[in-house]
């Protein structure tokens, strides 16, 4: 298996900026609550002890962005766009193996720069709509007419958030306060079908489009890149732990706890009849036995888990889920928001 292990960190800062020469209100002095995020492959020994990698990376990120907090960004960058901020942070981040740095300048937009200096901008949109899935088995809850506050993320290799918003506008008018089943092409409006429907309408006018993401709920959704579907299902569990490798002076050697956020990612072919790759409900049901071992328990007492670090937890879960969820190819685990690790294998990215 081609396993890849990444650590993730996030830190926020408050700043003002002026985007000189932009043809809209962003040229005026304004401010944001920015969120910086980093993904890195860390070598053994980067952290003071096993289990401290994500927090150590977070500390390095906070050090890197400290000059930006409550500052005028134009004093540090001539053009403080989201992507240029990501590059600035990447250049000053004292950590090895940096794979990508992201900057979110508002709740609905941001940019990511990877180690090859490729930039992807994204913007999030929301619409309220009804739907039902006509081909599910009798008694399936999605067979009844119901509704969601759908959230969509358009991601592009280059275009700024304003161009993404322009591409989205006519779709918002079609989708908001509508029944998706009534729209041509969405007679079976699963997350996967909706993602492909959106791709077919945005990509011709925005060739730089690289991914469409559909949040059907806050805890489940689908990515589509024009070829491949990947769904995810999110769970949260409340657990206690003690890190036995932490030194006596470190509080993590004591019994403490986290509200963990877990995301299971699955890649599979589309079932033409059902219109989905894997049923979200089936993912939840198959994970449930493992969930019951983790939620409201001490992780350092879980059978088969040698040490409740993020790395060991990910490997423990992967080993036990391989047979019951064969389409699973990535697991994200955060112990605090944005701070955690990710294990990928097979074709996962």
Per-residue pLDDT at 21: 76
Strand 256-267 to 229-241 pairing: antiparallel
How is residue 199 written in tokens? 């791709």
pLDDT tier at 349, thresholds 50, 70, 90: very low
Domains of the chain (ranges plus CATH)? Answer: 1-114 (3.30.479.10), 118-227 (3.30.479.10), 232-349 (3.30.479.10)
Cβ(227)–Cβ(179) below 8 Å: no
Per-residue pLDDT at 348: 45
* Tens digits of residue pLDDT in 307-330: 999 999 999 999 999 999 999 999
Phi-psi region of 3 (alpha: psi -120 to 50; beta: other; left: phi over 0): beta
Give dist(CA 330, CA 318) in Å, integer. 9
* Tens digits of residue pLDDT in 13-27: 999 999 987 777 778
* Tens digits of residue pLDDT in 99-129: 999 999 988 999 999 999 999 999 999 999 9
pLDDT tier at 159, thresholds 50, 70, 90: low
Mean pLDDT for the stretch of residues 74-90: 96
* Tens digits of residue pLDDT in 243-287: 999 999 999 999 999 999 999 999 999 999 999 999 999 999 999
């Amino acid at each position: 298996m081609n396993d890849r292990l990444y650590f993730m960190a996030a830190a926020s800062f408050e700043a003002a900026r002026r985007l000189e020469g932009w043809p809209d209100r962003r040229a005026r002095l304004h401010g944001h609550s920015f969120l910086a995020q980093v993904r890195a492959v860390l070598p053994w020994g980067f952290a003071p002890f096993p289990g401290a990698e994500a927090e150590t990376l977070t500390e390095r990120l906070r050090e890197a962005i400290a000059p930006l907090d409550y500052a005028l960004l134009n004093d540090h960058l001539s053009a403080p766009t989201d992507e240029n901020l990501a590059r600035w942070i990447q250049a000053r981040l004292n950590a090895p193996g940096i794979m990508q740095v992201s900057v979110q300048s508002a709740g609905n937009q941001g940019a990511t720069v990877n180690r090859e200096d490729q930039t992807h901008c994204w913007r999030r949109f929301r619409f309220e709509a009804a739907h039902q899935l006509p081909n599910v088995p009798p008694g399936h809850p999605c067979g009844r007419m119901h509704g969601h506050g759908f959230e969509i993320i358009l991601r592009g290799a280059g275009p700024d958030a304003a161009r993404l918003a322009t591409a989205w506008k006519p779709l918002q008018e079609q989708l908001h306060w509508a029944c998706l089943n009534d729209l041509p092409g969405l007679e079976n409006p699963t997350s996967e079908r909706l993602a492909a429907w959106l791709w077919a309408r945005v990509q011709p006018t925005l060739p730089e489009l690289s991914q469409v993401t559909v949040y059907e709920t806050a805890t489940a959704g689908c990515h589509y890149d024009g070829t491949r579907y990947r769904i995810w299902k999110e769970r949260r569990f409340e657990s206690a732990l003690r890190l036995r490798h932490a030194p006596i002076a470190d509080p993590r050697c004591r019994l403490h706890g986290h509200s963990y956020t877990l995301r299971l990612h699955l890649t599979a072919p589309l079932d033409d009849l059902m219109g989905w790759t894997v049923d979200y409900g089936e993912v939840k049901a198959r994970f449930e036995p493992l969930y019951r071992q983790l939620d409201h328990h001490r992780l350092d007492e879980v059978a088969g888990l040698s040490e409740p670090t993020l790395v060991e937890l990910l490997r423990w879960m992967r080993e036990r889920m391989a047979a019951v969820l064969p389409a699973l190819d990535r697991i994200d685990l955060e112990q605090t928001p944005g701070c955690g690790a990710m294990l990928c294998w097979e074709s996962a990215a």
